[in-house]
Structures are given as C-alpha cells and as structure tokens.
Amino acid sequence: MTRFEKISFTKIYSTLLALMLLANTSQAQTTTGTLNDISFLEGHWLGTYNGGPIEASWTAPAGDNVIGYIRMIKDNKPALYELFAFEQTEKGPVARVKHFKPGLIALEEKAVSDTYNFIEAKKNQALFEKDDISVRIIYERRSQNQLVIQRGKMEDNKWVFADLFVFKRIP
C-alpha cells in the first residue's frame, strides 16, 4: 500500500466514523414526545398569583389534543384568561396559548398564538420552548396534589428557571 493509499484510507475511515457519531448524536438529541407525556396535567388546580387566586384545569389527552385554561382573579374580578391547546404533531406536542383580558378581549392578533415546542419529558415533567427561543416552560407535578409551572430564561449561557405558578389539586 502506498503512502497516498494509507492517507486516503485513514481519511475515509475517519470521515465515516465522524459521520456515524454525528448521526448517533443527532438521533439521541431528537426527542419526539406524545400527549401522554403531559397527561399528568389532567385535573383541576388552584393557586395564588399577584395576591389573587389562579385556577387551572386540563383535560385528559383525546383526539390528538389536550385543552386547558388558566383563570387569574384580582380584587374578586377577572384579571386574565389563558387558553391552551396542546396538539400532537409529528415532532411531538405543541402548546398553543392565547391570552384574553376580561370581556374575552384577545391580547394576541386573531390568527396568532404563543407557540411552545416540546423539548423533552421525564416522569411527571415536560419541557417546552417558545418558538422565538426566548422562554422555556417546565410543567411539573411534584406530588399527587401539587403542580408547578416554571418559566426559564437564558442567563450567562444557561437556562435559569423560577416557579411561576404553584397549584394544589382541587376536586
């Protein structure tokens, strides 16, 4: 074997090895979830936010979707409504959120919703990222009767999360 043949073989082998590692790495990072990954949200929940009660409810997965709402009350009056539709896609669940002021006045344009894409799930926990990559949301059931929604922002090149809403299960 000539020196040229040895170098070519080595380069080809190295290139193939690198491609195989890259394929395995990207395959390992690609996670496709299902609505079952967020089924722990199901139920009726109550917490407090900004001095007033906050109520939330989510349905069980059915028909490739989960529907939910959050209702915020301040001074015994509605302050804000959020409506959620988690829809199953080929890439995993996608959360679409619309916000409304009292009177059901939309804060987003008619054809616009905040969209959050599924990143990963663990037992009783699911991570979503906003389309513009500015925010991440963790939904986590910490116990049978506690549900927490955390909001994350990028700080110093890492995601930092804080509890946004803490709920207790109600009948």
CATH number, domain with residue 47: 2.40.128.20
Same-domain check for residues 41 and 58: yes
Same-domain check for residues 152 and 76: yes
Chain mean position to CA 108? 19
Q: Domain of 153? A: 35-170
For residue 89, the model assigns a pLDDT of: 95
Same-domain check for residues 77 and 22: no
Total domains, the chain: 2
Whether 33 and 118 have beta carbons less than 8 Å apart is answered as yes
Same-domain check for residues 59 and 26: no
For residue 116, the model assigns a pLDDT of: 97
Say what the pTM is: 0.80
Nearest Cα residue to 150 out of 136, 170, 133: 136
Number of C-beta neighbours around residue 56 at 10 A: 22
Same-domain check for residues 85 and 20: no
Same-domain check for residues 23 and 71: no
For residue 16, the model assigns a pLDDT of: 38
* Matching residue, tokens 């090895």: 17
For residue 31, the model assigns a pLDDT of: 62
Name the β-bridge partners of 81: 71, 100
Same-domain check for residues 114 and 151: yes
Same-domain check for residues 109 and 80: yes
For residue 25, the model assigns a pLDDT of: 37
Walk along the chain (171 residues) in steps of 10 and give the mean pLDDT of each run: 50 42 40 92 95 96 98 96 96 96 95 95 97 97 97 96 96 87
Classified as helix, coil or strand, 70 is: strand
